[in-house]
Chains A and B, each alone.
Chain A
Amino acid sequence: MLSIAGRTFRSRLFMGTGKFSSSALMIAALRASGSEMVTVALRRVDLNDPADDIMGALNRRRFFFLPNTSGARDAAEAVRLAHLARAAGDTNWLKLEVTPDPRTLLPDPIETLKATEILVAEGFVVLPYINADPILALRLQDVGAAAVMPLGAPIGTNQGMLTRFQVGIIIEQARVPVVVDAGLGVPSHAAEAMEMGADAVLVNTAIAVATDPVKMAKAFAVAVEAGRMAYEAGPGEKQDQARASSPDFDLNFLRDE
């Protein structure tokens, strides 16, 4: 079972809650996914429509909230959002996300490291979203990150494991759980990450924008389970040359050799 900062999770699929067309659809997709940890963002209450509270409908006992710091462009903004998340959510868990460039939404490694140090010292359980940089992952682990969340591809791109090689190194080196976050577009991408030994994956866009998000959530759940099972089963090694699966002897009855 997956354990992060002493909390255990049966499901290795974490789900984001953004971009759903309705809260009913989001809840149905969450149920289908089997996810126990869901990411949420923080925004101003719309005072012209204060009743529009889609997260209020979620059972927090069933779905553990992992607030993110999306929108933060530097460590100071991320720390401010972390304090708000703790106040709103009664939780000290945090998906730390510092993305200064709205075009690429790639995370700033220096500000992320800085914010992690500050927030760990303040008692937060910090799960930083990072580019797939093995050295940064080690640095974050050293300063007390509870997990690392390298991207498969940029947020919302559905491109899959573009960072496969680097994520492989991160997994090999990590002493904390590795959660592949962002860019996974179809269930096979999630299965690939899990087969490589990722401890979990986080999926949002691919499920939320699917024609049938509930079915897609289920598909990701099955893929994550299959990928994990395959990792535990220990895949055979890749070979450069063909090797017959059937016996290559006792074929004399076909021809004289």
Chain B
Amino acid sequence: MPAAHQIDINHVARLARLTLTEDEAARYAAQIDGILSYIDTLTRYDLGSVEPTAHAMPVYDVIRADEARPGLAQEQALSNAPKRSADQFQIPKVIE
């Protein structure tokens, strides 16, 4: 990993679906650079042969019987929709 991180903050913001002002972009880039420098502590250890851990208490293949069971009713699922139309979530137009 390079010592100076030079993160392309606007690219990352696009991936994260966040609009940033110029001020925010500069501030976050500097702060994240500082945090990444600290995170570089991880490079001081040889981790090559270590198995990664995703969950501390691994539970595998959680399945249930394929039977119908109650879930959220349509009205409940739509109850917090910012905008709805014809019992569906409404979003801005996506095709011309």
- Please say whether chains A and B are actual partners in one complex: no
